[in-house]
Structure 1
Amino acid sequence: MKIPFSVPLIDADVIAEMHDTLTNTRWLTSGPKVKALEDEIQKFIGNDNALCVNSWTSGAMLILRWFGVGPGDEVIVPAYTYSATALCAMNIGAKPVMVDVNEDFTINADKIKAAITPKTKAVIPVDLGGYPCDYDSIKKVINAPEIRRMFTPDNERQRMLGRILILSDAAHSFGATYNGIPAGKVSDATVFSFHSVKNITTGEGGGIVLNLPEPFDNIEQLNFLRIFSLNGQNKSAFEKNQIGNWRYDIIDQGLKINMPDLCATIGLAQIRKYRNELLPDRKRIYDFYVKALSQYEWAIIPPYKNGGTESSYHLFLLRIKDFTEEQRDEMIRIISKNEVGVNVHYMPMPMLSLFKSKGYVMSDYPVAHHLYKNEITLPVYNGLTEEQLDFVVNVIVEAYMTVAGS
């Protein structure tokens, strides 16, 4: 039995929606399907603003640019995450300051506090695997009087906020909740990913949601970001294409990161049934793994629910108790030989050549390395049958017994 690690959902609804785009609306770049997807995101989260862009990285860069982050500034990020969390800051000239994580894979608030300097402009917590960070602890740090006094604003938006910006890397957590609050309503700004392997996909893509405090007007700021995502152009191509509506202006030096309708079409077909069908199905898969693997003392089950905090069930981050990196890698070799696709999320950034060349050292982040060295990510995607899941578990167990026995 061959089981890939990830398979995007392309079903009859997606095909029908794409057929409608190509034969009825007949518009390929940003237009009515993007607007419809943004409306569905707002409805799902329960807020009044959403902006679709062409990737998570672009969306995060847009928010940092909007806040005026640039050369000489620092952005705090966890060492245990995908590189885009740091690259969004580096791409606009800012310096990522890496800190260690907690045992649940989320950023350590105490480490954030220790890393803050007068140059710190933003912190990017990562909901790794779809499990939300401890935002109350993060906000307590950011709002502490001594930390607010240290903040040095360089522009009007920074003066309006009066503190470090909290930008959620919610690439994995669309559909998650924190203390009963939907992801997207917890931080100042949230960026989701709709990449091909995500719970909802547009192939490539991302979504921005604002939750800025007063005196900000979130809709006003979102409308500016929409222009900012179109090279600073105050009309989209769709709007300019309407008869007699050709005139436009460039009001700021923006980026070109809008999502096209072709991509939004796929996500639109999926999000309409996400709450009632797709998300519960992912939870079913997760529950199967939890029940099947909890009987083994060597299987460390990832966090997924705690009171009102619940994962989006994006990744199942299994850890193998007391295993070394070499033993974990041997397990993956055996699992792969049995045609089950697994992965590792992630190689901590200080292990990667780019970041090593910039002076980041893995030994500075012991918890991140401790989590990474024995982590194996299991397949979680819509449509996996119980027979397939049972096969995955059996292959995992047999691979452990083979490696542990040797």
Structure 2
Amino acid sequence: MKIPFSPPYINDAVINEVTDALKSGWITTGPKVKRLEELVCEYIGVPNSLCVNSATSGLILALKWYGIGPGDEVIIPAYTYAATALAVVHVGATPVMVDVNDDFNISVSAIENAITKKTKAIIPVDIAGWPCDYDDIIALAKQKSNLFTPQNNNQKKLNRILVLSDSAHAIGAKYKEKYVGTTSDICVFSFHAVKNVTTAEGGVVCLNLPKDAFSNNDEYAYLRCYALNGQTKDAFTKSKAGGWKYDIIYPGLKINMPDVLAAIGLAQLPDYFEFILKKRAKIYTFYQTFFESKAWAIIPPYKNQDKLSSCHLYALRINGITEEQRDSIINTVSQKGVAVNVHFQPLPLLSLFKDMGFSITDYPNAYKNYKCEISLPIYPQLTDDELHYIVDTIESAVLAQL
């Protein structure tokens, strides 16, 4: 049996929506992007959202919006994908890595210890779709406002550390009965090919700025312009009769999402909230039921009184094994036709960040989680037979190592 790790969910609705975009003659940013943005707002409950070409670009855009650059520090978890740190690097700021909890997510106490007068933002990451401790993080940002010295108008309006969530994995996750996206100042979701909702490549920036200090509509307009080279009109608007004239008012980026890709997400998003998310949850609980009785298994969190996972990844950990044993288990499972993965290599293990002076010895919990983690396939196309084959294959490979 051959079981891929994370194929995209493409049905007739997606094909029809993409075909409609192609037949319309308009394939770059236009009405389908705008409709996708509106749908994100409707489902998540945020005032505004802006589609961009990747979640990485969305993080960079948000950091630039807050005027973060050289001399500033941004606190991030050591356990995340490289894009979280690279967004900070690309705006010229300094990433400050802190350790994580046993649930993979950033430690609030570690954040508190890392805050300095240079701290301008915190980027919590909802690993595997499990929400971070947002109330505590927001409270900490407010509590430490006495250390915050604003350098521009947006920073003066907020007058504290920005909480910018990297929620690449977490669309559909809930924190205290609200969807992630409404739980931080700005939230970025990923629509990459392997995510719960995809546009092949893409992401969306959700604005949830305090209404007493900001007009989210105005900030959306600014970000939309900035994402199109600082141009006052997009190509669709310019194409209208007499609409050719435009201005460049910001030193912007070129990170807009095209309609032909937005069409995929436009078809998927209603299906996701209607039944795909439920199917992912069913598979997740199947894994939970199987592995919770195994003494060697550390099962990932799914829900508690405050949090509900989006079930993006099933991050199984094998108790008491070494990194080398984990790798051997993966090789055995792969040879049996089951594609598995590891999420993630902590940043200090990667050459770029080693060269910047980061050492994994400073992040013991990140390494402890990583060395025994195996991500299992979880997507709606999986059949019952495939699920039973996956868990039996995993158990057999693990027991051979113990």
Interval of TM-score (by shorter of Structure 1 and Structure 2): over 0.9
Map 1:206-225 → 2, pairs under 5 A: 206-213=203-210, 214-225=212-223
SS in 1 for 2:95: strand
What amino acid maps onto 2:269 in structure 1? Answer: I
Shift of 1:46: 1.8
Map 1:122-271 → 2, pairs under 5 A: 122-144=121-143, 147-213=144-210, 214-271=212-269
Partners in 2 of 1:136 and 1:260 — Cα distance? 35
Partners in 2 of 1:116 and 1:99 — Cα distance? 10
Runs of 4+ displaced beyond 6 Å: none
Instruction: Tell me the equivalent position of 1:69.
Output: 68
Residue 102 (structure 2) pairs with residue 103 (structure 1): yes
Shift of 1:251: 1.1
Partners in 2 of 1:208 and 1:238 — Cα distance? 21
SS in 1 for 2:163: strand
Match of 1:301 among 295, 299, 315: 299
- CA deviation profile, 1:25-84 (whole Å, cap 9, x unmatched): 221110011011111101111233111000001000000000000011110000000000
Partners in 1 of 2:315 and 2:25 — Cα distance? 41
Instruction: Tell me the equivalent position of 2:49.
Output: 50
Partners in 2 of 1:344 and 1:247 — Cα distance? 50
* Unpaired runs of at least 5, structure 2: none
Shift of 1:175: 0.3
SS in 2 for 1:369: helix
Partners in 1 of 2:95 and 2:196 — Cα distance? 27
Mean Cα deviation higher: 215-224 or 163-172:
215-224
- CA deviation profile, 1:109-146 (whole Å, cap 9, x unmatched): 111111111111000000000000011121221111xx
What amino acid maps onto 1:175 in structure 2? Answer: G
Conserved 8 A contact 2:187-2:205: yes
Partners in 2 of 1:12 and 1:148 — Cα distance? 51
Instruction: Tell me the equivalent position of 1:118.
Output: 117
SS in 2 for 1:387: helix
TM-score, normalization: structure 1?
0.98
* Unpaired runs of at least 5, structure 1: none
What RMSD, in angstroms, separates the aligned Cα atoms of the two structures?
A: 0.8
Partners in 2 of 1:365 and 1:294 — Cα distance? 27
Instruction: Tell me the equivalent position of 2:356.
Output: 358
- CA deviation profile, 1:349-399 (whole Å, cap 9, x unmatched): 000000000100000000000000000000011210111000000000000
What amino acid maps onto 1:154 in structure 2? Answer: Q
- CA deviation profile, 1:213-245 (whole Å, cap 9, x unmatched): 121111111111000100111110000011111
- CA deviation profile, 1:267-319 (whole Å, cap 9, x unmatched): 11100211111110111110111111111111111011011410100000000
The total of aligned residue pairs comes to: 401
Mean Cα deviation higher: 301-310 or 72-81:
301-310
What amino acid maps onto 2:202 in structure 1? Answer: G
Partners in 2 of 1:395 and 1:77 — Cα distance? 35
Partners in 1 of 2:301 and 2:255 — Cα distance? 34
Residue 8 (structure 2) pairs with residue 8 (structure 1): yes
Partners in 1 of 2:19 and 2:192 — Cα distance? 21
User: Identity of aligned pairs, percent?
Assistant: 53
- CA deviation profile, 1:164-198 (whole Å, cap 9, x unmatched): 00000000000001011111100000000000000
SS in 1 for 2:206: strand
Partners in 2 of 1:280 and 1:253 — Cα distance? 43
Partners in 2 of 1:63 and 1:302 — Cα distance? 30
SS in 2 for 1:272: helix
Partners in 1 of 2:386 and 2:98 — Cα distance? 38
SS in 1 for 2:386: helix
SS in 2 for 1:283: helix
Match of 1:336 among 334, 337, 355: 334
Partners in 2 of 1:210 and 1:39 — Cα distance? 12
Instruction: Tell me the equivalent position of 2:81.
Output: 82
Match of 2:380 among 375, 379, 382: 382
Partners in 1 of 2:266 and 2:309 — Cα distance? 22
Conserved 8 A contact 2:18-2:261: no
TM-score, normalization: structure 2?
0.99
Residue 312 (structure 2) pairs with residue 321 (structure 1): no
Conserved 8 A contact 2:47-2:208: no
